[in-house]
Amino acid sequence: MDINKYSPLTETTYYILLSLIEPSHGYVMMQKVEQLSDHKVKIAAGTMYGAIENLVKHRLIKSVQSDDKRRKTYVITEKGIEVLKQDYKRMSHMIHITDNLFSKTDK
């Protein structure tokens, strides 16, 4: 599985995947993204459903059974978790080297 083709994730996609560590439907996902991003990322309904369609197509998330028959519930897949972890490591590396460079210039 070539997960490198998904990197780097957009900020919106990163938060959507992160919001689906626990199963959620679209409206709850929108709330979680806003909460996780400290209210810096807000997703409109149309954007959210387009993103869901794309993430399902790439098998990064999947639909799961739910008690709520009116709403589709989604959860991140193993592939989605691997993509999310890869992007987390990429960003962590960027932060680490930036911290190191800034600490040298702050002296």
Express each pLDDT in 58-72 by its tens digit.
Answer: 999 999 998 888 899
Q: CB–CB of 17/80 below 8 Å?
A: yes
Maximum distance among all Cα pairs of the chain, rounded to whole angstroms: 60
Compute the mean pLDDT over every residue in the chain, rounded to the nearest whole number.
Answer: 94
Task: Please check the confidence at residue 107 and state whether its pLDDT lies above 70.
Answer: no
At 99, which CATH number? 1.10.10.10
Number of domains within the chain: 1
Q: What is the mean pLDDT of residues 87-105?
A: 93
Query: Based on the number of CB atoms within 10 Å of its own CB, is 45 exposed (0-12), middle (13-18) or buried (19 or more)?
Result: exposed
Task: Please check the confidence at residue 94 and state whether its pLDDT lies above 70.
Answer: yes
Domain holding 94, by residue range, is 7-105
If residue 75 lies in a helix (H) or strand (E), which one and from where to where?
Answer: strand 73-76
Q: In this structure, what are the phi and psi dihedrals at residue 44, rounded to the nearest 5 degrees?
A: -75, 155
Express each pLDDT in 11-29 by its tens digit.
Answer: 999 999 999 999 999 999 9
Residue 1 within any structural domain of the chain: no
